[in-house]
Structure 1
Amino acid sequence: MKIYPKEYESTSLSYTIRSAVEADAHSLSKLRLQIDGETEFLDREKGEGYIDEQEFKQLIEDDTRSDRNIFLVAEVNEKIVGFSRCEGNTLKRSSHKVEFGVCVLKEYWGYGIGKNFLKESCQWADANGIKKIALYVLETNEKAIDLYKRFGFEVEGVLRNDKFLSDGNYYNTIVMGRVKEGE
């Protein structure tokens, strides 16, 4: 599914959040690889689970056609600096929910890009009959956890010793969900 592009202004940065298009595939492949090497908040180390340009093209095409998926990018001066996805499925028992994931280049943290990805995703979900958004977040990512709580997400569980990081320690993954009540 697609959304209309929206312009955002931060203290010293202007950016656009829009739906991903096929022409973004090459940039997204390189961007994901770079972001995976910048933080341990994500599931992958740099190079793991690599998605090439063709695979991104297929993801974008599938997400654009689906009424249960949305693929967004953030663009600064025609450069993609982050992306988010909500991915649902066609199984009837799970068709009411999607999983949210987000990543932003470290250089662009602190400008509200992640917050606005989440805002756009929640608005899209609410407007399209999605009752639940689920996500997973590393216990050490306190800023993200606080942001999710501000958007109505609640802790639903803890996956104990779920991630093994470069410091040689195991960390928990927090399972969070936002349920739209009523209707």
Structure 2
Amino acid sequence: MDHSKNFFQNNLRYTIRPAIEKDAKELSEVRLQIDGETEYLDREKGESYIDESGFKQIIREDTYLVNNLFLVAEVDERIVGFSRCAGSLLKRTSHKVEFGVCVLKEYWGYGIGQSLLTESLRWADLNGIKKVTLNVIETNEKAIKLYEKHGFEVEGILKNDKLHSDHKYYNTAVMGRFN
């Protein structure tokens, strides 16, 4: 994806575009906030923290690696979510990428996550990616339905994969979309 794309849903205008290095500081802050807003992600707030220079490095790599894509979602020039497709340079796995997405809680319900997914899948199809994979907590039924609507299927279940703040273990669904 080489350009910005504008969306309007539920009276909200937002833009999806490739991440650039000047986004790094804001991405670091947004990721930290999102991690504290939901149990659906792998991290708790502050874990596996990525600072501005870390995000600059990721953005640089994703800009030049042919099977990586880093997108941001903006509302009024404020980053409110992002997604990544990360592939491998190894020949045996170079046909696939892993997709991840997160959106600030106050912007849930506007289709931002779906738009990030749609644009990522369009990019994958245009770039000959044969498989897109993702992991989703089994209780996130809304996300699973969205992924299935976009052609993903459950390939397996990782049992008792995540321990949440309620001290209970949860299963993770491994999903894949084949092209």
Report if TM-score (shorter chain) is over 0.5.
yes
For this pair of structures, how many residues does the alignment match?
179
The 1-side partners of 2:60 and 2:135 are apart by 25
The 1-side partners of 2:46 and 2:125 are apart by 35
Identity, % of aligned positions:
66
Give the aligned partner of residue 73 of structure 2: 74
Give the aligned partner of residue 168 of structure 1: 167
The offset of 1:12, in angstroms, is: 1.4
Q: Describe the superposition over 1:122-163 as per-residue Cα deviations: whole angstroms up to 9, x where unpaired.
A: 000000000000000001111100000000000000000000
Where 1:41 maps in the other structure, the secondary structure is coil
Give the aligned partner of residue 107 of structure 2: 108
The 2-side partners of 1:103 and 1:147 are apart by 14
Q: Describe the superposition over 1:55-100 as per-residue Cα deviations: whole angstroms up to 9, x where unpaired.
A: 0000000000011000000000010000000000100000000000
What amino acid is the match of 1:74? Answer: A
Give the aligned partner of residue 61 of structure 1: 60
1:1-183 alignment, distance < 5 Å? 2-180=1-179
Structure 2: gaps spanning 5 or more residues:
none
The 2-side partners of 1:57 and 1:11 are apart by 32
The offset of 1:46, in angstroms, is: 0.2
The offset of 1:168, in angstroms, is: 1.2
Runs of 4+ in 1 over 4 A off after TM superposition: none
Structure 1: gaps spanning 5 or more residues:
none
The 1-side partners of 2:20 and 2:121 are apart by 20
The 2-side partners of 1:84 and 1:170 are apart by 26
The offset of 1:4, in angstroms, is: 1.2
TM-score (norm 1): 0.97
The 2-side partners of 1:31 and 1:51 are apart by 11
* C-alpha RMSD over aligned residues: 0.5
The 2-side partners of 1:51 and 1:89 are apart by 21
The 2-side partners of 1:172 and 1:146 are apart by 16
The offset of 1:118, in angstroms, is: 0.5
The 2-side partners of 1:179 and 1:127 are apart by 14
Where 2:100 maps in the other structure, the secondary structure is strand
What amino acid is the match of 2:146? Answer: L
The offset of 1:3, in angstroms, is: 2.6
Where 2:39 maps in the other structure, the secondary structure is coil
Where 1:145 maps in the other structure, the secondary structure is helix
